[in-house]
Structure 1
Amino acid sequence: MSRDTAAIILSAGLGKRMKSDLPKVLHKLNGKYIVDYVIDNVKKAGISNIVLVIGHKYELMQKALADRGVKFAIQRPQLGTGHAVQVALPVLGDFNGDLLVLCGDMPLVSTKTITELLKMHRKLKAEAVVLTVRLNEPKNYGRIVRDEDGFLKAIVEYRDADRKTRLINEVNTGAYCFSSRGLRSVLKELKTDNAQAEYYLTDTIALFKKRGLKVAALVSDDPNEGLGINSKEELTRIESIIKELKG
């Protein structure tokens, strides 16, 4: 799998709610860096071609993760998730296989789910497959919008969603599998006309649909896979979940 698959892990953020100057993904989770869980799960899926997008205190990130066998792409300034992927792609050179994109602060996306995401992408010959979860309290996650036939139509970020869209309980986890060639093409069309004035990776779904290309969503049966770490409280919660998983 490693020859025709690569992974980009988005890890550039400061994480202001952590109330620390340390890059968010370098906080320890049961003795390991948060991002180490993501790197490990990707590697266990047979993927060794990994690019970490870093920004805040990038030199510290490079030093801390020097022995992980990953490449680095520096995102400065940080102009959104779409921009982060644009920064990472040149590091992959002429790679044109299947491309995973994951968040460095979401350690519960399992190797099993990563493998299922890749399998679905290949089976459907889709341009993009997004991993979703259904939550009783979806909070500020991006909402998954489906058409009248139940097919994926778009991902709408919470800040840009109207009241009706915010009632949707299926949300984006920030984990995707793309055709790298197709992704390179639509990234050029991203705009910043949104609430955060950023280039959203989520907008690629609607752009693929506009071209009549196939996109799909894989719904995880484990809502915990949608949990990210943005605060010390969330870190403590995920520590408990990981301890339970280990038994």
Structure 2
Amino acid sequence: MSLAAVILAAGKGVRMESDLPKVFHKVLGKPLLQYVIETVQKLSPETICIVVGYKKEDIQEYFKDYPVKFAKQDEQLGTGHAVLQAQPCLKDFKGEILVLNGDMPLIKEATLKNLVDFHRKHKSSATVLTAKVDEPGAFGRVIRNKEGRIEKIVEKKDATPAELKINEVNTGTFCFNAEQLFKALQKVTPENAQKEYYITDTIALLKSEGQPVFAYQTGDEREAIGVNTKDELKSLEQDMARG
């Protein structure tokens, strides 16, 4: 079956206090985004589409010799809006689409492969990669029903005090049925604290339409680590240097 990947790399990363695009900051001599691209390449996807925005020319120039396509998100209107910009890259594509953040260099090939295999085995419309973490912080919380099935993902700024206590979080990595993904994204609205179009809203949307939606939990919470500040970048580099 066909596989494609959409990697989100449009953000400026304001808290990095730098002129560089967030995914362009280097860890052990390589941009964060390069780690993600190289891991995804190991799955031999039909297409890899990088969604760029802030200083897009720099990213396009650096990766010009890589077998990737680029989609542009000129306005930062959220993750759902970002993925929608990738639709022309994936015209007529009928398989599964992996969606990942470009600032997660610790994501493993085996985890992505297991996520895709799980998604296919369960004939899922959407499968989110989750992790149990000690400090949920800014991560979106995974809400499950009494049967243990995923109901929705709630972003931190929209969560109730009870939901904030949940320590199973969205890693920002998903596997979708291509057709269902783009249908659902057309219905996402910016009715939230950030006034953004969240890709996470597709989970509850698909669920409400009776589509099969699942969560696959990684055993290694380090894979969920993204980078938002220079301190986090330094900590990540130290972690990776230790192996």
Q: TM-score range by the shorter chain?
A: over 0.9
- TM-score, normalising length: structure 1: 0.96
Pairing 1:31-50 to 2, within 5 Å after superposition: 31-50=29-48
1:69 aligns with 2:67: yes
CA distance in structure 2 between the partners assigned to 1:46 and 1:91 by the alignment: 17
Deviation of 1:188 after TM superposition, in Å, equals 1.1
Cα deviation, 1:54-76, whole Å, max 9, x if unaligned, reads 00011111111111221000101
Cα deviation, 1:9-51, whole Å, max 9, x if unaligned, reads 0000001111111111111110111100000110112225100
- TM-score, normalising length: structure 2: 0.98
Name 1:106's counterpart in structure 2: 104
For structure 1, which segment, 139-148 or 60-69, has the greater mean C-alpha deviation from structure 2 after superposition?
Answer: 60-69
Paired amino acid for 1:49: T
Alignment RMSD: 0.9
Matched residue of 1:68: which SS?
coil
CA distance in structure 2 between the partners assigned to 1:33 and 1:83 by the alignment: 24
Deviation of 1:214 after TM superposition, in Å, equals 0.7
Task: Return the match for 1:81 from 64, 76, 79.
Answer: 79
Name 2:50's counterpart in structure 1: 52
Name 1:145's counterpart in structure 2: 143
Q: Which structure carries more helix by proportion? A: 1
Name 2:203's counterpart in structure 1: 205
Name 2:193's counterpart in structure 1: 195
Cα deviation, 1:69-88, whole Å, max 9, x if unaligned, reads 21000101121000001101
Name 2:24's counterpart in structure 1: 26
**Percent of aligned pairs sharing the same letter:** 47
Paired amino acid for 1:146: R
Cα deviation, 1:86-129, whole Å, max 9, x if unaligned, reads 10111111111100000001111110100001000000000011
1:161 aligns with 2:159: yes
Name 1:14's counterpart in structure 2: 12
Distance 1:244 1:45, change over 3 A: farther
5+ residue gaps, structure 1, are: none
Name 1:116's counterpart in structure 2: 114
Deviation of 1:197 after TM superposition, in Å, equals 0.4
Matched residue of 1:73: which SS?
strand
Paired amino acid for 2:139: Y
Query: Conserved in 2, the CA contact under 8 Å of 1:9 and 1:102?
Result: yes
Number of aligned positions between the proteins:
243
Cα deviation, 1:119-176, whole Å, max 9, x if unaligned, reads 0000000001100111111111100000011100000000000101001000000000
Task: Return the match for 2:233 from 220, 232, 235.
Answer: 235
5+ residue gaps, structure 2, are: none
CA distance in structure 1 between the partners assigned to 2:22 and 2:14 by the alignment: 8
